[in-house]
Structure 1
Amino acid sequence: MHYDTDSVGLSVEVSDDTLREGMQTPGLMFSIEEKLTIAQAPKEAGVRRMVVAHPPAHVSEVEATREIVRRVTDVKVFGLGRALRSDVDAIASTGANVSIHLPFEGGYERALEACKYTKDRYPNLELSVGLVDVSSYSHERLVRTAVEFEGAGADVIELPDTTGRLTPRRYGDLVRRVREAVSCKLSVHCHDDRGLAVANSLAGVEAGAELVEAAVMGLGERNGIAD
């Protein structure tokens, strides 16, 4: 699903995260068959990109991802994992593209190595890298980190407001600074702790992001993400 924004001259794509982020909704659980059914709905709505599972977490997540890759065609499917070789291999074994997130505690050398490993070992897969909790970064550190991971092979840099602390002006400013420093695609992933997930996502688009991560009904961890 693409949305042409006349005000900023961008074509913006929705990335559906219902099956991955939605599984973190308190009390919610999807069976594999339910995941397959749910995966068809965004496709029918025009979505062509979705993050469907966390394959390194459990064999059922591996199975679900493989089945979605096999049965939901004409959609770019991603599995999520940590920035570790073992997680990358688990995701790649399903046939899905690779989405990895950085460690919360910093120490990015191993994560950079995992990115380079992904592009060397699986050159045909798209690599998306999430810079976890962008509100905890200084502007300079965020830009520097984004540049480093683009250099390590990231096709997409995700900018998650993991704790939902930011406001549209602050989040848009962060996205704009990263946009000025990198040429790869940027993706916004905003949590709704303050009820600002949609507003922050739109601010990120106006600042230059090409991808918006969202979930049906805003499902997700804590108060969810953009609806």
Structure 2
Amino acid sequence: MTAQAFPPVIVNDTTLRDGEQAPGVSFTIDEKIAIARGLDAARVDEIEAGIPAMGAAEIDAIAAVSSAVRNAVVIAWCRMTESDVDAALKTGLSRINLSVPVSDRQIRVKFGCGREDVIARIHRVVSYARDKGFEVSVGGEDSSRADFDFLLRVVAAAQTSGAHRFRFADTLGVLDPFKTHDLFESLRRETDMELEFHGHDDLGLATANTLAAVRGGATHVSVCVLGLGERAGNAALEEVAAALAQVSGRMTAVDLTQLTSLAELVARGTRRPIPAAKSIVGAAAFAHESGIHVSGILRDPECYEAVNPAQFGRARSIVLGKHSGMAAISNALTSLGITADEGRARRVLDEVRIRAVALKRSIHESELLEFYAATGSEETALVAQSALDRGTLC
């Protein structure tokens, strides 16, 4: 099957559930509604909105999120218990994810029982939820450390009990892409269920593992805006959506132009600033300073840009600093309506580098004009002042 023949990958965003479990993060109901609307505007397929068992306030927030979105499917996250199913009923939703530990260590620590009790619990609670009218996804917590033969039994129990999907959770972020691919290839041979991958980023591999899971047969991906989540977080929505199209040739419904505004919205709600170099959505993600790079970019953007910033509603920027070259200086002056001879441009470049090193930052265009004005006659200064007065500065 060619890449184009594959169906779109379904994106499940859990910023409002797993993302909010990040240390120190707590969204108000208004923030949850705003984020949900942002996800909906970005055409994210599914929104995992919270945990009903947390109580009345969380139930109200989940219901409000459901009312606020137009297209995305809203899902509640529950433990594999009847009481959690009963709490989910109060949200008015029709979809839930029922999570259960599947590694021997977590089964022992959390339940104090064995594998057979987990299988029995799945049959009992999934059937209970189906009888209550829910569509059910079963989440296997700590799937990456589970015995694989037992994991196959869990998947089979979920399917025979009426679940439509199995979520494989790399809860501790211990997988690498090669192992992830092999696991999903093996799972896909054994079941025709929807398969979702939920990856944590403890080793910095969550996005890579998510792509590998899709290549191995996953139909759904679980992500968070900005990779928010417990400990080192989860696979980042913006990275997965962009990389699936760019690297894997797989489509999602996500509107890539909405990702930056969505990331900024979540960053405000978490009070965690977006790192400048954050891929896709960071302020410097499409910024260039190096003289060699800028010289190439000005001739052909694809010389140093494999990803077009316009795909994300972004624009490239050329930054003046220590590593700038003559091409960047000439381009910057030209953009201000100034044509400088090589000697003056060279003196401007020298001043740019000196100040950038001294102040440990890039150079503003007002400073560029200051340097140009200092290179020549009164006429040169007047040209620089005229450019400043025209308001041509970025």
TM-score, normalised with respect to structure 1: 0.93
* Higher CA-based Rg: 2
Amino acid in the other structure paired with 1:44: A
User: Aligned equivalents of 1:112 and 1:178: distance in 2?
Assistant: 20
Partner of 1:32: 29
The count of aligned residue pairs is: 221
Question: How many angstroms does 1:9 deviate by?
Answer: 2.4
Looking at structure 2, the residues matched to 199 and 46 of structure 1 have their Cα atoms a distance apart, in angstroms, of: 22
Unaligned runs of 5+ in 2: 108-114, 237-394
Q: Do structure 1's residue 130 and structure 2's residue 144 form an aligned pair?
A: no
SS at match of 1:130: strand
Amino acid in structure 2 at the alignment position of 1:86: S
RMSD between aligned alpha carbons? 1.5
1:75 offset after TM fit, Å? 1.6
CA distance in 1, matches of 2:125, 2:206: 30
1:195 aligned partner = 204
Measured after TM superposition, the shift of residue 111 of structure 1 is: 2.9
Query: Is 2:9–2:221's contact at 8 Å kept on the other side of the alignment?
Result: yes
TM-score (norm 2): 0.54
In 2: Cα distance, 1:90 partner to 1:199 partner: 35
Quote the sequence identity (%). 35
> Is residue 38 of structure 2 the alignment partner of residue 41 of structure 1?
yes
Offset, 1:8 = 7.5
1:122-175 Cα shifts (integer Å, max 9, x gaps): 1xx321110111122122111121111111111110000000001111112111
Give 1 or 2: higher strand fraction.
1
Contact 2:122 2:157 in 1 (8 A): no
Deviation at 1:73, TM superposition (A): 2.2
- Residues 8 and 163 of structure 1: CA distance in aligned 2, closer, same or farther (over 3 Å): farther
Where in structure 2 are the equivalents of 1:4-153 lying within 5 Å? 6=3, 9-96=6-93, 97-103=95-101, 104-105=106-107, 106=115, 107-108=117-118, 109-122=120-133, 125-153=134-162
Q: After TM superposition, where is structure 1 displaced by more than 4 Å over at least 4 residues in a row?
A: none
Structure 1 partner of 2:164: 155
Say if 1:139 and 1:177, in contact at 8 Å, map to a contact too: no
- Shift in Å, 1:7: 7.0
Where does the alignment leave 5 or more consecutive residues of structure 1 unmatched?
none
Residue pair 1:159, 1:175 contacting (<8 A) in 2 also: no
Displacement after TM superposition at 1:112 (Å)? 2.1
Q: Which has the higher helix share?
A: 2
SS at match of 2:9: strand
Counterpart contact for 2:43–2:71, Cα < 8 Å: no
What code does the residue aligned with 1:101 have?
A: S
Once residues 90 and 45 of structure 2 are traced to their aligned partners in structure 1, the CA distance between those partners, rounded to angstroms, is: 21
**Which structure would you say has the larger RCO, counting Cα contacts within 8 Å and 6 or more residues apart?**
1
